[in-house]
A and B are shown apart, each in its own frame.
Chain A
Amino acid sequence: MPAHEGTSVALLASLLALLAATLRLSLPVLITSVGATFTELGGVVNIGLEGMMLVGAFASAWAGITWGPLAGIAAGIAAGGLLALVHAVAAVRFRVDHIVSGVAINLLAAGLVRIGSYRVFGTATTSGRVEGLPPIPVPYLGDLSPLVVVGFLLIGVAWYVQQRTPFGLRLRACGENPLAADTLGVNVEAMRVAGVVLSGMLAGLAGSYLVVELNHVYVEGMTQGRGFVALAAMIFGNWTPTGAALASLLFGAAEALSIRANVAIPYQFLEMVPYVVTLLVLAGVMRRSTPPAAVGTHYSRGDE
């Protein structure tokens, strides 16, 4: 029956479109939440990820317009990393409470991008168009950004680095038992700073993706709380890159669904879908989560 065939083809098409939208929408959260595993495994809470993503977005718009997409992405990574360094110095070196430092970082970021935007774009809230990388045509899904590939590779790379390299072992030791790591000659401060900066660089990369690849434009506030959502995804994913990535995909799918579903419910309830889904999943299937034992704590030797 051709008519029947027609509807099933249309259904398939919308499913594929949904899948593609899920990938697009998940990626910034995915990259950031995978990055967040680095900071947390090292023992530092980083709620400044939102701000780091935002400065990454701004910096990549500026460099992307000036020198092209690759420079844009590099600048985004660098900007996120630099802001993360501020957080790391405050939280690790000076032992400022991680949360407060993160709150301050977010404030800093919000102000800095506005000042920068005035200077660079002549307006506070938006940039001109940013060219992207040449997209990769994928059968059925359409054009995908090369960063989607990078993002998914990142999951494996993060896992490998954390589980199969001396760096990862030391980093995790600093998040679990910094005293033990110190007695074995691991430089706890350096490792923790490295973890924070890595997370900031990846948050910056996520910001770049938003600007250079997804929207081709910078808009103030465009990160829309994705940094916080990434943190939730990381916790939801039980502090592992794969778990974080899966949680991010779940968020992305829920968001894509809320955009594309045509259901007759009050509009505001569609807004809630991703968050309610997460809550339901948490309430239903979540096993007790196990954060790194020393996360959020400061470390110093006993005789100081």
Chain B
Amino acid sequence: MADAEWMLEARHITKRFPGLVANDDVSFAVRRGEIHAVVGENGAGKSTLMKILAGLYEPDAGEIRLEGRPVRLRGPRHAAQLGIGMVHQHFMLVPRFTVIENVVLGSEPGSAGRLDLAAARARVEELARRYRLEVDPDARVADLSVGQQQRVEILKVLYRGAQVLILDEPTAVLVPQEVEQLFRHLEELRQQGKTVLFISHKLDEVLAIADRITVLRRGRVVGTVAARQATKAQLAEMMVGRPVLFRLDRPEPPALDDPAPLLALEEVTCLEGGRAVIDGVSLVVRPGEIYAIAGVEGNGQAELLQVVTGLRPVTRGRVRLFGEDAAAWSVARRRAAGMAVIPEDRHRQALVLPMTVWENAMLGSHRDPGWRRGPFYRLAALRRRVAAQIGRYDVRTPSLDVPVAALSGGNQQKLILARELERDPRLIVAAQPTRGLDVGAIEFVWSQLLAARARGLGVLLISADLEEILALADRIGVLARGRLVGELPRDEATPERLGRLMLAGGEPA
């Protein structure tokens, strides 16, 4: 009775979490040898569904069929034995281990008493060659770029003989070049007969690579469509439940008499172990403009953010904020002077996950005397204010007292935005502000940044997403190997030109 056509089927899968149904009677099927995409808003239940298919969660109801046969997955190892492997959005890697060690962990070659590293290396190298997933087998994973780490994750899955590969938001953390490379890998896998199931928020990508697309909304399947017949607008509407306009208002900022720069870097250089991680960078951000930093990740963006926010001392050069020499200013002083920060890694740099929503909402302005009476916080007033703030930013949370960890990624990001923008800053420093967000949330974040610009604020935007940069920026600086290799005004920037600058590290004269 095995139905050859369907490789993997989900039938009437239901998964509840306290307070919500993450997957509600979900049914869909994946063909053998296809690339199947799953899309949906933040919190739609995509990751939950994938974790069920990979044996990590147990469904409360429903059935999984593999090649037509019902299977009950007893755990991730069992799923792997059956040929299902998953690459999680938050990589499941041991940073201190080498690539080989990460790949073979749990299914090591050799006897029980000896780890046959030579055999392991041979297998890993063979796999890497076959699927063109080049990565240094002896490198420590902590030293790898995100794209390389992802390749390690894919190798792990292939090493276990997976026929079905599940990837949760594989492109969210990749730069355009890496995305292209990943898609080549996925193509390669499909040609070798593997089945790929992946989640993405980027509808253009989905349309470009997938064969078929399943849309989830609030835990339910809205439908499955063939990529060839689908359009971006149609998908977006299915996801959100209303039409989404892919057009942004760019209200113009008021004409200012005082266009003095809010932020100015003058020949800033930062040495680390004798190497210049930032190398002679000069730039200015004026009121009412969005200055974007483009570049392949790892070219100094993180360090630049640290310099601007006060987390990294400069070796040479000057940092001026609001007209004053700010090189020696602490983070707190910069924030007090009117700088708002949206860090790139919200879990590690922006939020204290075990703390409550209201506590996270006041993080950074927690010294504000307005929150207090005498030395003590006025809890009632504080909560009222927080509730109003996050209400304006449509942060969806069961209550103010849950740990912020319980919020979906999109809502966490909106909380950060609320927290930073409600402080009435003059300068916003935003790094990867829409990473991992769905179209609705991205639309919201973008419009907030543009609204801030329209109020005369300056924005320094650091992003690996060219679409984002082109949509928002007034001027664009390209960072390569720690140097600012070019600066283009908005109307001269094209993806091609930027891409060339990013890769070449300089434009031929």
List residues of chain A with CB under 8 Å of any chain B CB.
Answer: 164-170, 172-173, 176-177, 179-186, 293, 301-303
Q: In the complex, which residue of chain B has the Cβ closest to the Cβ of A163?
A: B115
Provide the B43-72 mask, 1 if CB < 8 A to any CB of A, else 0.
Answer: 000000001001011100000000000000
Decide yes or no: A180 and B93 within 8 Å by CB, A170-B106, A185-B77, A185-B80 being known contacts.
Answer: yes
Instruction: Determine whether B97 belongs to the interface, using a CB cutoff of 8 Å to chain A.
Output: yes
B287 to chain A, nearest CB (A): 42
Measured in the bound complex, the distance between the Cα atoms of B217 and A70 in whole Å is 68
Q: In the complex, which residue of chain B has the Cβ closest to the Cβ of A174?
A: B94
Instruction: Determine whether B113 belongs to the interface, using a CB cutoff of 8 Å to chain A.
Output: yes
Instruction: Determine whether B4 belongs to the interface, using a CB cutoff of 8 Å to chain A.
Output: no
Interface centre among A165, A166, A182 (most CB of B within 10 A): A166
Interface centre among A177, A182, A183, A301 (most CB of B within 10 A): A183
List residues of chain B with CB under 8 Å of any chain A CB.
Answer: 15, 17, 51, 54, 56-58, 75-78, 80, 86, 88, 92-97, 101, 104-108, 110, 112-115, 117, 156
Q: In the complex, which residue of chain A has the Cβ closest to the Cβ of B91?
A: A180
A172 with B75: CB separation less than 8 A: no
Decide yes or no: A182 and B76 within 8 Å by CB, A172-B97, A176-B97 being known contacts.
Answer: yes
B76 with A303: CB separation less than 8 A: no
B106 with A185: CB separation less than 8 A: yes
Residue of A164, A173, A181, A301 near B114 (CB, 8 A) is A164
Which B residues touch A177, using CB under 8 A?
A: 92-95
Which A residues touch B15, using CB under 8 A?
A: 303
Q: Apart from A169-B104, A176-B97, list 19 A-B contacts with CB within 8 A.
A: A164-B114, A164-B117, A165-B113, A165-B115, A166-B108, A167-B112, A168-B115, A172-B96, A176-B94, A179-B92, A180-B94, A183-B56, A184-B106, A184-B107, A185-B76, A185-B78, A186-B106, A302-B51, A303-B57
A71 to chain B, nearest CB (A): 27
A176 with B80: CB separation less than 8 A: no
Decide yes or no: A293 and B75 within 8 Å by CB, A170-B106, A301-B56 being known contacts.
Answer: no
A73 to chain B, nearest CB (A): 23
Decide yes or no: A183 and B92 within 8 Å by CB, A165-B113, A173-B105, A302-B57 being known contacts.
Answer: yes
A181 with B105: CB separation less than 8 A: yes
Which B residues touch A168, using CB under 8 A?
A: 115
A170 with B58: CB separation less than 8 A: no
Q: In the complex, which residue of chain B has the Cβ closest to the Cβ of A161?
A: B113
Measured in the bound complex, the distance between the Cα atoms of B117 and A176 in whole Å is 20
Measured in the bound complex, the distance between the Cα atoms of B398 and A176 in whole Å is 32
Measured in the bound complex, the distance between the Cα atoms of B501 and A128 in whole Å is 83
Decide yes or no: A176 and B96 within 8 Å by CB, A166-B112, A185-B80 being known contacts.
Answer: yes
A232 to chain B, nearest CB (A): 22
Decide yes or no: A169 and B101 within 8 Å by CB, A182-B76, A183-B92 being known contacts.
Answer: yes
6 contacts between A and B (CB under 8 A): A169-B101, A169-B108, A169-B115, A184-B76, A184-B156, A185-B106
Residue of B17, B86, B97 near A183 (CB, 8 A) is B86
Measured in the bound complex, the distance between the Cα atoms of B94 and A5 in whole Å is 59
Which B residues touch A301, using CB under 8 A?
A: 56-57
Measured in the bound complex, the distance between the Cα atoms of B101 and A302 in whole Å is 25
Which A residues touch B108, using CB under 8 A?
A: 166, 169
A297 to chain B, nearest CB (A): 12
Measured in the bound complex, the distance between the Cα atoms of B88 and A182 in whole Å is 13
Measured in the bound complex, the distance between the Cα atoms of B58 and A182 in whole Å is 15
Which 3 pairs between the two chains have the least Cβ-Cβ distance? A185-B77, A184-B106, A180-B92
B50 to chain A, nearest CB (A): 12
Residue of B17, B57, B94, B156 near A173 (CB, 8 A) is B94
Decide yes or no: A166 and B110 within 8 Å by CB, A185-B75, A185-B80 being known contacts.
Answer: yes
Measured in the bound complex, the distance between the Cα atoms of B88 and A179 in whole Å is 11
A184 with B77: CB separation less than 8 A: yes
Which A residues touch B105, using CB under 8 A?
A: 169-170, 173, 180-181, 184, 186
Which B residues touch A185, using CB under 8 A?
A: 75-78, 80, 106-107
Measured in the bound complex, the distance between the Cα atoms of B95 and A177 in whole Å is 9
Measured in the bound complex, the distance between the Cα atoms of B51 and A181 in whole Å is 15
Interface centre among B51, B58, B106, B115 (most CB of A within 10 A): B106
Which A residues touch B77, using CB under 8 A?
A: 184-185
B76 with A183: CB separation less than 8 A: yes
Measured in the bound complex, the distance between the Cα atoms of B96 and A293 in whole Å is 9
Q: In the complex, which residue of chain A has the Cβ closest to the Cβ of B103?
A: A184
A303 with B58: CB separation less than 8 A: yes
Measured in the bound complex, the distance between the Cα atoms of B43 and A222 in whole Å is 59
Which A residues touch B51, using CB under 8 A?
A: 302-303
Measured in the bound complex, the distance between the Cα atoms of B104 and A301 in whole Å is 22
Which A residues touch B93, using CB under 8 A?
A: 177, 180
B56 with A165: CB separation less than 8 A: no
A183 with B88: CB separation less than 8 A: yes
Measured in the bound complex, the distance between the Cα atoms of B76 and A267 in whole Å is 62
Residue of B95, B106, B113 near A181 (CB, 8 A) is B106
Measured in the bound complex, the distance between the Cα atoms of B104 and A165 in whole Å is 12
B106 to chain A, nearest CB (A): 3
Which A residues touch B106, using CB under 8 A?
A: 170, 173, 181, 184-186
Which B residues touch A166, using CB under 8 A?
A: 108, 110, 112, 115
Measured in the bound complex, the distance between the Cα atoms of B156 and A185 in whole Å is 12
Which A residues touch B56, using CB under 8 A?
A: 183, 301-303
Q: In the complex, which residue of chain B has the Cβ closest to the Cβ of A180?
A: B92
Which A residues touch B54, using CB under 8 A?
A: 183
Which B residues touch A182, using CB under 8 A?
A: 76
Measured in the bound complex, the distance between the Cα atoms of B108 and A176 in whole Å is 18
Which A residues touch B80, using CB under 8 A?
A: 184-185
Measured in the bound complex, the distance between the Cα atoms of B107 and A183 in whole Å is 12
B57 with A165: CB separation less than 8 A: no
B95 with A176: CB separation less than 8 A: yes
Which B residues touch A302, using CB under 8 A?
A: 51, 56-57
Measured in the bound complex, the distance between the Cα atoms of B301 and A119 in whole Å is 70
Which B residues touch A293, using CB under 8 A?
A: 95-96
Decide yes or no: A172 and B94 within 8 Å by CB, A165-B112, A301-B56 being known contacts.
Answer: yes
Measured in the bound complex, the distance between the Cα atoms of B94 and A172 in whole Å is 9
Which B residues touch A173, using CB under 8 A?
A: 94, 97, 105-106
Which A residues touch B104, using CB under 8 A?
A: 169
Measured in the bound complex, the distance between the Cα atoms of B56 and A185 in whole Å is 10
B80 to chain A, nearest CB (A): 7
Measured in the bound complex, the distance between the Cα atoms of B75 and A186 in whole Å is 11
